[in-house]
Copies of this chain bind each other. A is one copy, B any other.
Amino acid sequence: MSLIVQKFGGSSVADAESIKRVAKRIVETRKAGNDVVVAVSAMGDTTDELLDLATEVTPIPAPRELDMLLSAGERISMALLAMAIKSMGHEARSFTGSQAGMITDATHGAARIVDVTPVRLREALDEGAIVIVAGFQGFSRESRDITTLGRGGSDTTAVALAAALDADVCEIYTDVDGVFTSDPRIVKKARKLDRITSEEMLELAASGAKVLHIRAVEFARRHGVTLHVRSSFNNSEGTIVYDPSRLPEGAAVEESVIAGVAVDLTEAKITVVGVPDVPGVAAKIFKIVANTNANVDMIVQNVSAASTGRTDISFTLPKSDGERALTALSNSQEAIGFNSLQYDDQIGKLSLVGNAMRSAAGVSARLFEALYEAGINIEMISTSEIRISVVTRADSVHAAARAVHTAFELDGEDDAVVHAGTGR
């Protein structure tokens, strides 16, 4: 008997009808002879509605109380889901994060899982029940308070449960058929991948692919959890996210050449103009930025102009961090001694990800050529072992993605099917 963890996002449980559909799917998995543990998000827009309510009450809600508030969302969806399953004649029990033993630190709104003690879940499984667990939420032993895991929390809950219960697979149900070579809304010929390594998935998620949250992928990789990303709207096989180092020796591994092309339009570029080209200045700048909790991504430093002894430093960061970073830098203009600041939120980032880059030469040359032929100007470049990212103008990054997708022979034969909505 296999143990399967399934995660359903908010769009999969948006109303009573969808909940019944999901319940049917869970029951089918159970009937196929599996133990089933389900992590579920809050229904549809519940979380946003609760956030709106909080903001109506006070502009800056107390973090402890905000977590208490938001955790109500999954209680509703999980109880309804358990009811639906029971009404189909199968035993089901719902558990809150704290009942499920999802122990976190005490950081409200972005708690880290420190331990999972699924005693009650094992008991329920032993008694033949289908187990439904509230995604996104946990419990701090230290403060004895309810916590939430932040964005992508339900994916992380599912993966953490799969790791703690030594599940055979963690199925992430979503509104697309799996992980694609690119976003099908941008690149129509994007192709569903049958398999992808967790490392590639990590780079794709970090580069803007929204199908899985980077934190859940990291957790899965660290704990050797195999993910199966698949659609809640059909029964097709989705994409297996696996760790090749954990496969039995000699197991056939399909070596993906290039996994995909990701696009990210959520970043902005800050350029610090006329920085004195002396040691330690970059360190000063990025310490100031780090202190605002801004998440710096790419960094480029120009060659210094000999005549002035000054240079420019550009970096990208999430647009939502932009204002805080600008204010902090501006306040330190004298201390750093730069001339001016430029802020550009009209940038797009394209990333090409694949294990092939480790060995195959010429990948970057082919990328740059494809962009050149499409008439797209490259503003910044950064690379990791299995990724190349370039920054372009925001309005040309979609065309860039299509060109690169074709150049690397990723195009499928048919257009991909696109569903609406995303989960939490």
**Interface residue ranges, A against B (CB under 8 Å):** 15-16, 19-20, 50, 53-54, 56-62, 64-66, 68-69, 71-73, 75-76, 78-80, 82-84, 86-87, 92-94, 96, 99, 120, 144
Pairs A-B, 10 closest by C-beta atoms: A16-B56, A58-B87, A69-B79, A68-B79, A72-B75, A72-B72, A65-B79, A62-B86, A65-B82, A65-B83
**B65–A72 touching, CB < 8 Å:** no
Are the CB atoms of B84 and A75 closer together than 8 Å?
Answer: no
Report whether B53 and A16 are in contact in the complex, using a CB–CB cutoff of 8 Å: yes
Residues of B within 8 A of A56 (CB): 15-16
Which residue of the partner chain B has the closest CB to A120?
B144
- Known contacts A16-B53, A99-B144; A79/B58 CB under 8 A: no
Instruction: Name the CB-closest residue of B to A60.
Output: B87
Say whether A66 contacts B54, CB under 8 Å.
no
Judging by beta carbons under 8 Å apart, are B65 and A86 in contact? yes
A68-B58 contact in complex given A16-B53, A80-B53, A144-B120, C-beta closer than 8 Å: no
Q: A53-B16, A56-B16, A57-B16 are in contact. Are A76 and B69 (CB under 8 A)?
A: yes
A83–B61 CB distance below 8 A: yes
Known: A15-B56, A57-B83, A66-B83. 20 other contacts (CB 8 A): A50-B76, A54-B80, A57-B84, A58-B84, A61-B87, A62-B82, A62-B87, A62-B92, A64-B93, A65-B79, A65-B83, A65-B92, A68-B78, A68-B94, A69-B75, A69-B76, A69-B80, A69-B83, A71-B75, A75-B75
A50: min CB distance to chain B, Å: 7
Residue among B60, B69, B83, B96 making CB contact with A58, cutoff 8 Å:
B83
Q: Does the CB pair B75–A62 fall under 8 Å?
A: no
**Chain B nearest CB: distance from A140 CB in Å?**
12
Residues of B within 8 A of A54 (CB): 79-80, 83
Q: Which residues of chain B come closer than 8 Å to A87, judged between CB atoms?
A: 57-62
Contact A19 B57 (CB under 8 A): yes
Contact assessment for A79 and B94 in the assembled complex, using a CB-CB cutoff below 8 Å: no
**Distance, CA A16 to CA B16, complexed state (A):** 27
User: Across the interface, which residues of B come within 8 angstroms of A62, CB to CB?
Assistant: 82-83, 86-87, 92
Across the interface, which residues of B come within 8 angstroms of A73, CB to CB? 72
Residues of chain B within 8 A (CB-CB) of A144 are 99, 120
A69 surroundings in chain B (CB, below 8 A): 75-76, 79-80, 83
Q: Determine the residue in chain B with the shortest Cβ distance to A80.
A: B57
- Give the interface centre of A59, A66, A80, A83 by most chain B CB atoms within 10 Å: A83
CB neighbours (8 Å) of A82 from chain B are 62, 65, 68
**Residue from B76, B83, B93 in contact with A72 in the complex, judged by beta carbons closer than 8 Å:** B76
The answer to whether A86 touches B68, judged by C-beta atoms less than 8 angstroms apart, is no
A-B contact pairs, 7 of them (CB 8 A): A53-B80, A54-B83, A64-B93, A65-B94, A68-B94, A69-B75, A72-B73
**Min CB–CB distance A49 → chain B (angstroms):** 10
With the chains together, A16 CA to B49 CA distance in Å? Answer: 12
User: How distant is the Cα of A79 from the Cα of B58 in the complex, in angstroms?
Assistant: 12
CB distance from A57 to the nearest CB of B (A): 5
Of chain B, the residue at the smallest CB distance from A59 is B87
Give min CB distance, A55 to chain B, whole Å: 9
Question: What's the least CB distance linking A144 to chain B, in Å?
Answer: 7
Q: How far is the CB of A95 from chain B (nearest CB, A)?
A: 9
* Chain B min CB distance to A128 (Å): 15
Shortest C-beta distance, A63 to chain B (Å), equals: 10
* Minimum CB–CB distance for A82 against chain B, Å: 4
Smallest beta-carbon distance A24→chain B, Å = 12
Tell whether, in the assembled complex, residue B86 and residue A75 are in contact, meaning their CB atoms are under 8 Å apart.
Answer: no
Query: Which residues of the partner chain B approach A93 to less than 8 Å between Cβ atoms?
Result: 64
CA of A133 to CA of B99, assembled, Å: 19
Bound-complex Cα distance A80 to B68 (A) = 9
Closest chain-B Cβ to A38's Cβ sits at a distance in Å of: 13
Bound together, the chains give a CA A61 to CA B79 distance in angstroms of 9
Least CB distance from A111 to B in Å reads 16
